[in-house]
Structure 1
């Protein structure tokens, strides 16, 4: 941001004793200043919310890391080929297929797992299972928890800053409409003197 741009922004927010500044200009300036202050104050609030999200996810990471295990599964049948996939299914690289695996306590299980399209029977896959031996999603990692926290904080700050920008835009639009209406009324009063009509 250049010095001129910053100077213009400050003059817009604080018209001061400028005799040409209207009530609308002062309202716009007040809303602009309010929006900037709220957006700046929202930074620590968003950071605190992000920290809280991370703390919540941290306990989830610990629980999932303890309760999920990666095991080897062997396909009991060929996985469907990509040719038979519908348009929306073809966007996903895996499909359901029957496989067998051993649970962490040594019992053999059989069921549906996610496998690449066209994988042949006998192909070994790494899958995640829960304490009961059922297939599940991989556990959340500390990096995943941090990413969720950062994303949540940025999203919250973006919503607050966006709401302030929208408020300023609406106030500016309303003030401009009022200005234009006053100018039109003044011209209607002045026009006959200038145009002779």
Structure 2
């Protein structure tokens, strides 16, 4: 922002260097890009992601079906899971041997996770299968799809802002290097004995 203020202050200053104006203009362009391109990128990526995810939700709902399972017996717990996140999610479920009828009418059985704290034989629970009765995950819902799309949009906006700021810093770095080169050239023109000029030494 200092460079933007400097753009106004340096307009008629005789000490103004060309690089001062370039640096101020680069800062102004960066601010405008961040103000305009960042939100546009976020909305565009978020919208495209949301559309793709909602399409995936529709496709999953077409091929995944919720069916009723019947507990045959409870299965002993698996070994302790070292990941606390997955183990806490599994604590709300029980591993059971169950049977269910697929949408195509065939009967299936197997070990599945049931949303039952203490299952007894004959208890019923809901599970998701494909058309042939194979157990699948619950389809993505609209709210989760929208949340993922929003996060993708935010990520894209942050990435664009980082690219703009990185480009601005790169340009300013090049400007500073040019200034140093010009100072070195001016120093060489002055000569190594500039302090003794005319003294006869």
Q: One fold, TM greater than 0.5? A: yes
Number of matched pairs: 185
CA separation of 1:34/1:76 partners in 2, compared to 1, >3 Å: closer, same or farther?
same
**Which ranges of structure 2 fall in alignment gaps of 5 or more residues?**
none
- 1:92 paired with 2:86, answer yes
CA contact (8 A) 1:78 1:121 kept: no
> Which stretch of structure 1 is more off in the superposition, 138-147 or 12-21?
12-21
Q: Give 1:18's match in structure 2, choosing from 13, 17, 24.
A: 13
Work out which of the two has the higher radius of gyration on C-alpha atoms and give 1 or 2.
2
Displacement, 1:112? Answer: 4.9
1:95-141 per-residue CA deviation (whole Å, 9 max, x = no partner) reads 9x67323134464323353579xx99969765322222212122111
Tell me the residue number matched to 1:113: 112
Specify whether residues 18 and 111 from structure 1 end up closer, same or farther in structure 2 by C-alpha distance, changes over 3 A only: farther
Which residues of 2 match residues 109-188 of structure 1 at below 5 A? 109-114=108-113, 126-187=126-187
1:29 and 2:24 are equivalent in the alignment: yes
Q: TM-score, normalised by structure 2?
A: 0.69
Q: CA RMSD in A?
A: 3.6
